[in-house]
Structure 1
């Protein structure tokens, strides 16, 4: 009996250690490692006044694949193909390309597709109910806080706080599974678009 009690207590202790907010978040993300969805965006200022509403689509896939297409009110596109990040402004007919590590080094959004332990150590993660708040330890981050909420293991909402005090909420819907090999994660420069290549090659 004593031995059984010792084993049970050891298992309980191990479970408690494994249930840190960071590991809880990783488990939820790993349960749904690739998906695409539609989103509705609402941006409010420091006075909680709505300053922008929009719609678009996104896709996330481990490792390091990200697609963010804001369609309304002003179109913009961000694609991370696992190596580089492409930031496209159709109105200006310009695209910037940066190395992945440089582009997302201080962004809490990186944790949604990144599993490098050293990267996760750069952020503080707190849990409340089915939501997780991600704060960068660096003061140089353009985004102060990212919060993600789940229904079970399905990501349903992303919210961002920036350094200007604006709060952006993205409600997700119409989710479907997707793989990192999907064509959506490949960016092809449109004809006539100027390229600002910051990869230092």
Structure 2
């Protein structure tokens, strides 16, 4: 009997550790409240070969506000506020409108600003040094295998995404600043005139 109890407790220990890691990540993100930073991006294939480089601006604000603007080599923009996400491609002159849940399926990176307990429960979070690895649990649909979020002195420093093909996108953050009142406009999006609109929202 004692052996059975010990086996059960041992099996539960990893789950408890994962819960602690998730709580620790949530606490660090909540402590930031809102940040704006420049980023440099490097995309490599499964063999480590450089595929693409880029630069842009990222902003995060709790809760459910996200801004990602790739400025080079080709411009693209993602703006999320509450449950609505706009994806704008200036070159193609088109805007896609999605639900936040759809972005979560595409990438757990949206968890950085999303606090829905059900969504968080669908991902395993493991702390490794100053980084947290976020990966979908079995049966959860996601285009990204792992998102690694790293901190330096409580400051978000790096984000690394690895997809199912083994390609990795690494975002190194710099020139960080707290979100101010003037930055609130980053999280609103006015659809430009003349662009095609693909509204994929389900509600």
Give the TM interval when normalised to the shorter protein. 0.7 to 0.9
Q: Size of the alignment, in residue pairs?
A: 186
Secondary structure, counterpart of 2:133 in structure 1: strand
CA gap 1:63/1:179 in 2 versus in 1, 3 angstroms: farther
CA drift of 1:192 comes to: 1.2
For residues 118 and 99 of structure 1, the distance between their equivalents in structure 2, rounded to whole angstroms, comes to: 16
Q: Deviations 1:43-72 (Å, cap 9, x if unpaired)?
A: 100110001011000101111111011111
Change (3 A) 1:188 1:132: same
TM-score, normalization by structure 2: 0.85
Q: What per-residue deviation string (whole Å, max 9, x for no partner) do you get for residues 55-107 of structure 1?
A: 00010111111101111111111100112000111110000001222332462
- 2:173 is equivalent to residue 190 of structure 1: no
1:4-35 C-alpha deviation (Å, 9 max, x unpaired): xxxxxxxxxxxx98981111111111110211
Give per-residue Cα distances to partners, 1:141-190, cap 9 Å, x unaligned.
11111001001221000000012211010000111111698000001111
Is the Cα contact below 8 Å between 1:106 and 1:136 reproduced in 2?
no
Structure richer in helix, relative to its length: 2
Q: Structure 1 residue runs of 4+, over 3 Å off?
A: 16-19
Q: Which residue of 1 aligns with 2:41?
A: 41
Match of 1:164 in 2: 165
The CA deviation string for residues 109-157 of structure 1, in whole angstroms up to 9 with x for no partner, is 1220011221111000111111000001145211111001001221000
- Please, what TM-score do these two structures have when normalized by structure 1? 0.86
Aligned counterpart, 2:81: 81
Does the CA-based 8 Å contact 2:103-2:110 persist in structure 1? no
Give structure 1 stretches of 5+ with no counterpart.
1-15
**1:99 equivalent in structure 2:** 99
CA distance 1:26–1:139, shift in 2 (3 Å): closer
Secondary structure at 2:161 match in 1: strand
**Worse overlay, 131-140 or 86-95:** 131-140
